[in-house]
Chains A and B, each alone.
Chain A
Amino acid sequence: MKYFGLVLLTFAALLLSACFAPPHRTVGMPENPTPLDSLSQVVFVNAVVVPLLPPEFKYLGTIQTEADAGCSDGGTVGFLREEARRVGANIVYVKNAQTKTAFLYTQYTTSVFHCLTLHVDLLYAEAPLITRWQEQIKAAEEKKGR
């Protein structure tokens, strides 16, 4: 009971932190971006599986996310998807995925967080395979919505 308040506070802090963008650094992002059409899907592409970029594409920046207390994998991926949409990218090309550790020190406890950190390029490209991926995502979302 003694620590109940602390546990509640930590839980609330973690819950809130999932809503915020993870710490990150960016390079090459456009200053006046044109956001992606709301109907277009953002595709996450694993570079290990797809080791080269489309023949024609528009490079819209590189992002490196970092570990932080209260991180969540879903939050990180969601943030990147929103960033891609914001700068007009339909591809999040994931070049490196690592699990890094962050610590949260309080008076009574030390919490350890294992955070997914991603190094990605944001691109806009059009190609049959990309359209196929987008269709697959849309179909999956529709299936989920039902």
Chain B
Amino acid sequence: MMRKFKFLFVVALLTASFAFSGEFDDFEKSLMQNSEPSGSTDSTSSASSMDAFEQSLISESGTEMENIYQLREALLEAAKRGDTAQVSRGIEELEALKTEDMVPLVDVESQVLLIRQKMWPQLLQYEVKRYKNFYNDLVNEKARYAENDGLMLYIKKEISKFDTTSALLMQLESDIDKSSSLSESEKLELKILLLLNDAYRDDKVNERIARLSQMFLEKYPDHPDAKWIENSVAGSYFRRDFWDLWNKDRQEHREENIARNFYTGGLGFNLYFLSGGLAFGMDELYRSDLFEPEPPGIYLELYLQIKRFAISFELLPSGIEGVATYSLGLGFVAYDSRYLKVRPYIGLGMPAMILDAKQDGYLAMPGGDREYFQEGNNEMYAESFGFTLAANVDFKFLTTYLFSSSSNFFSMMLTGKFGITYMEFDDTIVKGSGVTPFFALGFGLLLW
């Protein structure tokens, strides 16, 4: 029983001449059951379809089957004698009799015979032919197989000598390397094709197929089989590591993906460290003999861009020392590119300033009241209105993918803001109106 299991296992391992059933339900079921592939039409699936008695009837019938069994018998004798020429001829003769309804010799039988006789050039020829015709060879589900004869018993016995725990090539590699009948390119090609028997069962095998194929293509780019090896044989193995493939693809298409995101939107945050400007019409804005301004020191902006439109909330600098504007803006992305982005906008806001008292004193309030203030006290004065026209110019000096996304990015920017604000102050001690052109330079982050 164990031997039968071993035989079935090795046959399944070695044989690739499956007429695979692509029927969705069967395959899904096999996936869910984690089972070994089914649906083969090789000797495994048909081994029990005919007993020895039926077999003997066929072989005695004088039909085509009789001829096939005679050829198989001759092939067996040649194999036992070690007559390689006869083995080669026998395989060819039986192969020639193969039809969609009749399989005189299954792949595993040919392979085992050629391997055991160490007929490496013939094995290479056989494997190349077999795999090149893989998608052309058709075998019907109810095809008849030549079996239950001496050759099958012999093959079974030979198969039992293989080590089922290691890949087929591992057991043959040193013999192939020693072979003087194969050129270096042929040795390499044979190794690749023999590894296909164990492909997709073991990651190491897949990796080796890819590595050997790469080596083959580098060493023998003009070999007649190079294109076939590159596309059909090794193509899917070159794409075996999805994450590696995905990362390479992301890097290769980075610029395209970035370009696809222009004018699409994002969330940005800018901090301005350097600012300045001019002021017109606000020379006497506050009592500079009593108060001195306390500038915020840092200005910022948070904006949300949807398509080309942006809503921003910001603390804007001005050309007057100590005056900053809390502003809500509506912008439009006029230009966006790999490195540069220009976003003009209009803003409505509230200019404000914080003033420190230079000395103790009283402040006259409307209605005749007085308010006492002490030296060092500071307060914000902000009963005012501001209207801003400005443009942000961002230089995206670094853009990378946002985490594992292929369509979202993170950019670091040098950002500049240039604009003009009209403001009116109508507070107790800050009063006046005017225009202030300004600029601010800083650093920004953008998720887009």
Contacts and interface: CB of A to CB of B under 8 A. Distances in A.
B134 A50 contact: yes
B22 A52 contact: no
B249 A28 contact: yes
B240 A95 contact: yes
Interface in A45-70: 45-55, 57, 59, 62, 64
A51 B22 contact: no
A12 interface: no
Given A27-B245, A57-B231, A46 B24 contact: no
B199 A64 contact: no
A45 B236 contact: no
A85 interface: no
Contacts of A127: 135-136
B200 interface: yes
A119 to B, nearest CB: 5
Looking at B24, B25, B136, B232, the one whose CB has the most chain A CB atoms below 10 A away is B24
Contact of A27 (B22, B40, B199, B242): B242
A53 B236 contact: yes
B228 interface: yes
B45 to A, nearest CB: 12
Nearest to B235: A53
A55 B236 contact: no
Interface stretch (A14-22, A105-113, A134-142): A134-142
Given A50-B134, A62-B239, A128-B136, A44 B18 contact: no
Range class of the B interface residue count: 35 or more
Contacts of A81: 24
A51 B200 contact: yes
Interface string B9-39: 0000000101111111101101110101101
A36 interface: no
Given A44-B27, A97-B31, A116-B32, A64 B242 contact: yes
B402 interface: no
B290 interface: no
Given A27-B242, A52-B131, A99 B21 contact: no
Contacts of A77: 24, 27-28, 31
A96 B200 contact: yes
Contact of A130 (B30, B34, B135): B135
A73 interface: yes
B20 A49 contact: yes
Given A52-B196, A55-B228, A128-B138, A43 B18 contact: no
Contacts of B40: 49
A91 to B, nearest CB: 8
B22 A137 contact: yes
A25 interface: yes
Nearest to B141: A136
A30 interface: no
B233 interface: yes
Nearest to B140: A132
Contacts of A133: 20-23
A129 B132 CA distance: 12
Nearest to A28: B249
Contacts of B235: 53, 59
Contact of A134 (B22, B131, B228): B22
Nearest to A81: B24
B135 A129 contact: yes
Contact of B27 (A28, A46, A62, A121): A46
A74 interface: yes
Interface string A77-106: 100010000000000011111010000000
A122 B19 CA distance: 20
B16 A137 contact: no
Contacts of A54: 135, 232
Nearest to B25: A140
Nearest to B243: A64
Contacts of B138: 128-129, 132
A119 B20 CA distance: 19
A30 to B, nearest CB: 13
A132 to B, nearest CB: 6
B137 interface: yes
Contacts of B22: 41, 43-45, 133-134, 136-137
Contacts of B30: 46
B204 interface: no
Contacts of B199: 47-48, 51
Contacts of B116: none
A98 B389 CA distance: 58
Contacts of B239: 27, 62, 95, 121
Interface of B: 16, 18-25, 27-28, 30-32, 34, 36-37, 39-40, 131-132, 134-138, 196-197, 199-201, 228, 231-233, 235-236, 239-240, 242, 245-246, 249, 406
7 smallest beta-carbon distances between A and B, as pairs = A133-B22, A43-B22, A127-B135, A51-B199, A49-B37, A51-B196, A64-B242
9 contacts: A46-B27, A51-B16, A53-B231, A53-B232, A55-B231, A73-B32, A95-B200, A136-B21, A136-B22
Given A51-B196, A130-B135, 18 more contacts: A27-B242, A43-B22, A44-B27, A49-B20, A52-B196, A53-B233, A53-B236, A55-B135, A62-B239, A77-B24, A77-B31, A116-B31, A118-B31, A125-B135, A129-B19, A129-B138, A132-B138, A140-B24
